[in-house]
Amino acid sequence: MIKFKFEDFKKIFCNKMIQLKRNKFWLKMNLKEKIKIYLDQIKNLKGVENVVLTQRDGNPIQSSGVWLSKDEIFNVSSAASAIYNVGIKLHPNDLKYILIEGNKAKILIAPLNTPVHDSLNKILEKQEILDNMNEFFIGITAQSNVNLGGVFLQTNNCLKSIKTTLLSSGQTFKPPLIEYDETKMQEILERFKIKEDQEENYNFSSFLFNISEELSWELTKILSNFSLTVLDLKYALLSVEGGFTLSKIVKQKDLRGQKLDSISAMSYSLFHVANRCAWLLKKMKAENILMDCTNSFQFINSIREGIFCSEIGKNRQKLGLIRLYLPQFLKKITSVLKRAEEEQKPSSFDIKNLLGEMLIK
């Protein structure tokens, strides 16, 4: 027979009372306070500067460590939302996270799609609460020398707890619609410098739409070598301003034609908005973007006035090895594009004069 001393009973009783008080305190806390606790845990990881939980429509829910003003927080959240939505469009079923890298910091954007436990799933089913995998996302900014992929793995339990708290609350975070009267509109316009109408000459660079046959062949050769070096390559393309495809190589048959053009345009758009987000947060330019998915990696790399975009399967190729290969080929592509810019000087002309000449003819 096991005997307990009075001190043992006292210790057990005290622990139970402490736990009960904590539970009562937890129940009294509102939802955003609960989420703040989890975000603080992520913020306390080494190298992490700030964390923001945002709804898919760009409405910020809660943050930790953010030093931005209210307007800046909304601007960053809307930019991050645009990046997130394009990422979901490109990889609707298997996106793990989007990693934006610059010289000053790294920014990670990830959906709250961590599976919750079975017991909660049963409760949610009974309450007819639908689990929208992509409704919320987390944004983490960290120092440039931090392995954010590793940080993301460490946050798994926190993200699961945040998702559980959100789903079980039954609350919605849809922001109210804003109405503007004439006075409000005038106040907004006064914050901006309104440009006066004036005649302008426009400079056009033919490089964006025209490239010599020799240089085009060189780009094709570089992409071909890239496909031979990197195993499980699905596609690689060079996209210039506006998302126009300058050169490409496709290994996956169902990605040809309009589908690849769509990927090119969306990838360029994602990179363009990522630049804005990076500037708002850290006054830096985005250099590289990695989209980690269940079965593949998508890379978007800044190159001159465009991007180099590629998607690579995970079966036979490690991430670290791909990161070693990419700079070599990016350097070669940059060299070719630089030569193209030198060969074709931008031409300046007056549109009105040009139209006048056309009418005379």
- In the chain, the domains with their CATH numbers are 32-169 (3.30.450.30), 205-345 (3.30.450.30)
197 or 64, higher pLDDT: 64
CA 117, CA 174: separation in Å to the nearest integer? 26
Is-contact 106 142, C-beta < 8 A? yes
Give the tokens for residue 286: 């985005």
CA 153, CA 162: separation in Å to the nearest integer? 15
Tens-place pLDDT, residues 73-125:
778 888 999 999 999 999 988 899 999 999 999 999 988 876 555 555 555 55
Tens-place pLDDT, residues 229-255:
998 999 999 998 877 888 999 998 877
Is-contact 300 267, C-beta < 8 A? yes
> Residue 27: pLDDT band by 50, 70, 90 thresholds?
very low
241 or 354, higher pLDDT: 241
Instruction: Walk across the sheet containing 48-55 and list its strands.
Output: 60-64, 48-55, 136-143, 105-111, 95-101, 288-293, 296-303, 306-313, 233-240, 244-250
Greatest CA separation found in the chain?
113
CA 23, CA 30: separation in Å to the nearest integer? 13
Task: Classify burial at 310, counting beta carbons within 10 Å of its beta carbon; exposed 0-12, middle 13-18, buried 19 or more.
Answer: buried
Is-contact 219 206, C-beta < 8 A? no
Is-contact 35 59, C-beta < 8 A? no
Tens-place pLDDT, residues 315-340:
888 888 999 999 999 999 999 988 88
**pLDDT over 60 at 210, yes or no:** yes
CA 59, CA 144: separation in Å to the nearest integer? 27
> Which ranges in the chain belong to alpha helices (H)?
6-28, 31-43, 70-90, 118-126, 148-154, 156-169, 182-190, 213-229, 258-282, 319-343, 351-360
Closest CA to 353 of 207, 200, 196: 200
pLDDT, averaged across the chain: 78
**pLDDT over 70 at 361, yes or no:** no
**pLDDT over 60 at 205, yes or no:** no
Is-contact 307 271, C-beta < 8 A? yes
Sign of the torsion angle spanned by Cα atoms 218, 224, 227, 233: positive
**pLDDT over 60 at 152, yes or no:** yes
Task: Classify burial at 288, counting beta carbons within 10 Å of its beta carbon; exposed 0-12, middle 13-18, buried 19 or more.
Answer: buried
Closest CA to 230 of 320, 331, 334: 320
CA 335, CA 337: separation in Å to the nearest integer? 6
**pLDDT over 60 at 227, yes or no:** yes
Give the best-scoring range by mean pLDDT among 62-66, 284-288, 341-345.
Answer: 284-288
What is the mean pLDDT of the segment spanning 135-151?
Answer: 87
**CA 315 vs CA 91, 118, 231, 312, 329: distances in Å:** 18, 30, 9, 9, 22
Task: Classify burial at 354, counting beta carbons within 10 Å of its beta carbon; exposed 0-12, middle 13-18, buried 19 or more.
Answer: exposed
What is the mean pLDDT of the segment spanning 208-223?
Answer: 82
**% of the chain surpassing 70 pLDDT:** 70
> Residue 136: pLDDT band by 50, 70, 90 thresholds?
confident
**pLDDT over 70 at 304, yes or no:** yes
Question: HEC states along 7-21?
Answer: HHHHHHHHHHHHHHH
